[in-house]
Amino acid sequence: MTVWVLILYAAGIVLILAEFIVPGMICGILGGLLVVSSAVMGYYTFPEYIVFLATAEIVGVFIAIMCGMLMLARTRAGKRLILSDSQQAGAGWVASETDTSLLNAQGEVFTALRPAGTVIINQKRVDAVSESAFIDKGTKIRVIAVQGSRVVVEKIE
């Protein structure tokens, strides 16, 4: 009986690894069923070692999945899933540019800043964030910081 427990477990691990090479979930499901069958047979054969058997099988399946991920990364299909180019700023990959001309500019709140909203600066709508408190619509403001697309404003007293 011990031999069958080991054979079912080994066959399950091999099928789980095969799932990473031949996707379709059939090998993975069959491998999982074989591992569970191995655990059940191990329980009936050696009930006093069930904690050890269950732990060893879970660790083995985890290691098999990690090895499968490594194998997948080396296959042609896996290489298509991994981004090989880096997005350099010099090539135009910039999420948002900092508009330093807004620094210290004055304007008016277009929608209430609670704490984020829209302000009008130089006849342009700009998304902004208040420095600390809520600022009501129509209040005069000044830009105190610009970091990328984040524009921080404060109320002018």
Average pLDDT over residues 68-80: 88
114 and 52 in a common domain: no
Question: Where does a domain end: 49, 81, 113?
Answer: 81
106 and 138 in a common domain: yes
Coil/strand/helix, residue 5: helix
14 pLDDT above the threshold of 90: yes
Of the pLDDT bands very low, low, confident and very high (cuts 50, 70, 90), residue 155 is very high
72 and 125 in a common domain: no
User: Residue 106: which CATH number?
Assistant: 2.40.50.140
Alpha-carbon torsion 76, 82, 88, 92, what sign? positive
pLDDT of residue 21: 87
Residue 90 counted as domain residue: no
Average pLDDT over residues 114-124: 94
* Residue 146, burial from CB neighbour count under 10 angstroms (0-12, 13-18, 19+): buried
Average pLDDT over residues 84-99: 76
Give me the number of domains the chain comprises.
Answer: 2
pTM: 0.56
Alpha-carbon torsion 44, 45, 47, 51, what sign? negative
Residue 89 counted as domain residue: no
pLDDT of residue 111: 95
The boundaries of the domain holding residue 75 are 2-81
Question: Where does a domain end: 51, 81, 111?
Answer: 81
104 and 77 in a common domain: no
- Residue 7 structure tokens: 């054979």
- Which pLDDT tens digit goes with each residue over 35-67? 999 999 999 999 999 999 999 999 999 999 999
Q: Locate tokens 């269950």: which residue?
A: 54
15 and 49 in a common domain: yes
- Which pLDDT tens digit goes with each residue over 128-143? 999 888 999 999 999 9
119 pLDDT above the threshold of 90: yes
Question: Where does a domain end: 15, 46, 81?
Answer: 81
